[in-house]
Amino acid sequence: MAKEQETEGRGRRNEAEETKGRRSEAGEAALEFIEANLQIQDKAGRLIPLHFNPAQRRLYQEIERQREQGKPVRIIILKARQVGFSTAVAALFYERSARRSNTNSMIVAHKAEASANIFSKAKLFYETCPPEIRPMKRASNARELLFENPSNKQAERDADPGLRSRIRIETAGAKDAGRSATIHNLHLSELAFWPHAGETMLSLMQAVPHDPQTMVIIESTANGVGGEFHRQWLRAVRGESEFAPLFFPWWEHEEYRIEQTGDEQWDAEELALLEDYDLDAAQLRWRRWCISANCGGDPDRFRQEYPATADEAFLASGRPVFASRALAKAYAAAQEPLLRGELEWQQPGAVQLRQEQRGRLAIYEQPQSNGDYWIGVDASSGMAGGDYSAMAVVEKKSLLPVAFWQGRIDPDLLGEEAVKLAHYYQQAMIAPELNNHGIAVVNTIRRLRWPRLYRRRSVNRTEEALSSEYGFQTTPRTKPLIINHLARYIREDALRIPDRETISECISYVYDEHGATNAQSGCHDDRVMALAIALWTAAETRREGRPFVEGDWRALYGANEHTGY
């Protein structure tokens, strides 16, 4: 019996070794096919054989590693510009679609022009490869290469249907892309720049079977922190998804060199690069040239397009409003919440925290009896897929952020959550943004008779007198005030912000082409605005010496009593 089990086990091991060997041979055959038969256009427009560069070979090695393990191929790539991954993936997909039957490949990019550019590489592969190895082609148009028998006679197509494989392109515009298809090879290009990236990727992934013969490759340059690509990258790095993360710094690309010598004097940053990444003078010359010629003399723009590390890629993207290096240190030092959960009415005028792992309230410091807390509120419509609503709690005397709340909720219900949070934090002052949906928040807070409601001062032109109104009004005049105040706070005290998601939103908060400040495309700024309002109003009343409130709550309700309902 033992001998039979040993023989059976040895047979299974031999079978596994043979399968692994066949996969390895198939991989070598694929690379040999690509480099022997496929051509590309070089920068001068000449047709040349495609030979994988070192970065492309590292991608290929990861594909083979996953195949040898019998896994579906899942890879996410964070890259520098013009390393050649789109070309490599197009070649890999062409090889699989043009040599295997019933294989569907799809290329999806952020713009129609980008999708068409990648697809044109596949069409060039077909047109320039030796005629004897071209599969039968039924269609070749702007969106599809269909490898089937082109005959109009059904009998001929039945007798020899061809491969029945195809390569299609799509543009990342529709949220339901790929719903009616089965996709075996999927290329998601420049995911960081997709509109509706999360919804579109979810739709596409449902069309890919969980099968070892399938392949999904995401490749993108960075576009700030907080978007879908950044989220997927972090999940891969943490081992929370099937995707293997591959980062390719600029200095791994063999073309990024200028060999001629000179009498260069390297600055401190360049000397650090020499030491940290073991670079040589030719690479530094190219970097210096690229900053001057391609990046408008802006080193931060170079770091975005040609990052040396993954963190640098995300932190340098866009035109950041806040100090990137301070935020990078804060992000690295950020901590997990002390408590997370939902606030519930315990009895009229009192609340308690129900702890939940995914609760909307993250507490970093419990309320102190001698604390004076202020809550900044940024309201949204509460619609699914829209912006979030957010609240930030700061202690007035220290201006220390102690808690953050974020969720999608109707504005009137947000007003009630704000009152709960104010109860929890020692009868806190609530400073809601009044714009748009904030009016409903203010109305709810007043309906619930919460007395510590921020009032701003304004000039009544008709009566030539000062008046006060509820809530914080964000205008072209006041928004720069609170954002500049937050910028100074971050520059001087970024390490005091404990919440990683808030820091992420600060990192992706940028200047647009008109010089206005907003969240980068695909990102959110709800926590940014809530924190900015909380810090500004708390500091403002500290400077003024008195808050703008409806009555004196201590006189009305007693110093240690909750408001009744």
Q: What is the DSSP letter of 50?
A: -
Beta carbons of 83 and 95 less than 8 angstroms apart? no
What does the angle CA 264 – CA 268 – CA 271 come to, to the nearest 5 degrees? 65
Alpha-carbon gap, residue 153 to 112, rounded angstroms: 35
Q: What is the largest CA-CA distance in the chain?
A: 103
Q: What is the pLDDT of residue 48?
A: 93
Which helix (H) or strand (E) element contains residue 411? helix 411-424
Domain 19-248 in CATH 3.40.140.10? The answer is no
* pLDDT for position 22: 45
CA–CA gap between residue 457 and residue 98 (Å, rounded): 71
By residue count, the chain amounts to: 565
In sequence order, what are the residues at sequence separation of 6 or more whose Cβ sits closer than 8 angstroms to the Cβ of residue 201? 188, 191, 194, 228, 232
Fold classified for 333-557: Nucleotidyltransferase; domain 5 (3.30.420)
Contact (CB, 8 A) for 225 and 523: yes
In whole angstroms, give the CA distance from residue 303 to residue 62: 26
188: which strand partners?
Answer: 108, 218
16, 23, 49 from 35: Cα distances, Å? 29, 19, 7
Which pTM does this prediction carry?
0.59
Q: Where are the domains of the chain?
A: 19-248, 261-315, 333-557
Cα 141 to Cα 146: distance, rounded to the nearest angstrom: 9
Q: What is the DSSP string of 92-149?
A: HHHHHHHHSSS-EEEEEESSHHHHHHHHHHHHHHHHHS-GGGPPP-SEESSSEEEES-
- Residue 270 tokens read as 């360049």
In the Cβ-directed half-sphere of 40, how many Cα atoms lie within 13 Å? 18
Taking each helix axis from N to C end, the angle separating 85-99 and 112-128, rounded to the nearest 10 degrees, works out to 50
DSSP summary character for residue 47: E
Closest CA to 106 of 222, 203, 248, 236: 203
Q: What is the CA radius of gyration of the chain?
A: 29
Helix or strand holding residue 487 (H, E) = helix 478-493
- Two structure tokens written together for 15: 């079978």
399 within 8 A of 538, measured Cβ to Cβ = yes
CA distances 121 to 2, 39, 94, 359, 483, Å, are 57, 9, 9, 48, 46
| CB within 8 Å of 496: residues ≥ 6 apart | 399, 400, 401
CB crowding 435-448: b at 16 or more within 10 Å, else e:
bebbbbbbebbeee
pLDDT of residue 144: 87
Q: What is the DSSP letter of 384?
A: T
Residue with tokens 């068409």: 116
Coil/strand/helix, residue 156? helix
Distant-in-sequence, close-in-space partners of 100: CB < 8 Å, separation ≥ 6: 163, 165
- The reported pLDDT for the residue numbered 471 is 92
Contact 377, 442 (CB under 8 A): no
3-class SS of residue 383: coil
* Angle at 295 (CA atoms; ends 291, 300), nearest 5 degrees: 80
pLDDT at 227: 76
Pairing of strands 139-140, 144-147: antiparallel
Q: What is the pLDDT along the chain (565 residues), one digit of tens a residue?
A: 444 445 444 444 444 444 444 444 454 588 999 999 999 988 888 999 999 988 899 999 999 999 999 999 999 999 877 778 889 999 999 999 999 999 999 999 888 888 888 888 989 999 999 999 999 998 888 788 999 999 999 998 889 999 999 999 888 875 556 565 799 999 999 998 888 888 889 889 999 999 999 999 999 988 776 678 988 998 888 788 999 999 988 888 888 999 887 778 898 888 888 888 889 999 999 999 999 998 889 887 788 788 887 777 776 555 789 987 788 788 878 889 999 999 999 987 789 999 998 899 999 999 999 999 999 999 986 666 567 899 999 999 999 999 999 999 999 999 999 999 999 999 999 999 988 889 999 999 999 999 999 987 665 555 554 456 899 999 999 999 999 999 999 999 999 999 988 998 898 888 877 889 988 766 789 999 999 999 999 998 765 544 433 333 333 333 333 232 2
| Sign of the Cα pseudo-torsion (388, 394, 399, 401, in order) | negative
Place of tokens 């599969």: 135
